[in-house]
Amino acid sequence: MKLYYAVRDGIRYDPYRLLLTVSGMRASTTIEDARGWCVPKAILLAACCRAQGIAARLGFADVRNHLSTARMREFMGTDVFYYHGYTAIQLGGKWVKATPAFNIELCEKFRIRPLEFDGKEDSIYHPFDLEGRRHMEYIRFREEHDDVPLEDMMETFAKHYSPSMVEAPEGDFEQEVEEETRDLVS
């Protein structure tokens, strides 16, 4: 599905582009910025599907990300990503999960398998990276929604993350990944 790959690789994953506002959660904002974290990227994929007449919803899960950067874990105060976003798309009479979050270059740097999407099977994160290290652990699948449950999301963030997480973080995530993974790339 070309829409999936356009969002996955055409929009840079950037968890520091955290805009917890209605305008920050618009597909048009993500296109303008050409970057976003998992939720805005899932929103963009859902909007693209809907524009093509394909039913799509926003899905959420709590995941433990074993391969995030040290600064990101410090900033969040945990390695659990609450309300990790994916897109649920209705294809062939069933709903399938598509996770367009990590662009191909980021996957290569972290030495994780990029998520492929064939429109038939769920595309959710692999539990291990290419070196056999723990990568992503799904702790809880939350509900799927037609729109972003922004109020619930913000309450959950305030409850589980350090106070600085609710503020707009600043940093160059791609540079952090480059520095922390320099020795991983062969």
pLDDT digits (tens, 9 = 90+) for 34-74: 999 999 999 999 999 999 999 999 999 999 986 677 777 77
Distance (Å, rounded) from C-alpha 33 to C-alpha 30? Answer: 5
| Share of residues in the chain with pLDDT > 70 (%) | 87
Instruction: Tell me the mean pLDDT in the region 120-143.
Output: 89
What residue spans define the domains of the chain?
2-162
**What is the pTM assigned to this prediction?**
0.88
Type of residue at 96: V
CATH class, domain 2-162, is alpha beta
Distance (Å, rounded) from C-alpha 125 to C-alpha 116? Answer: 10
SS3 content of the chain, % helix, strand, coil (to 5): 40, 25, 40
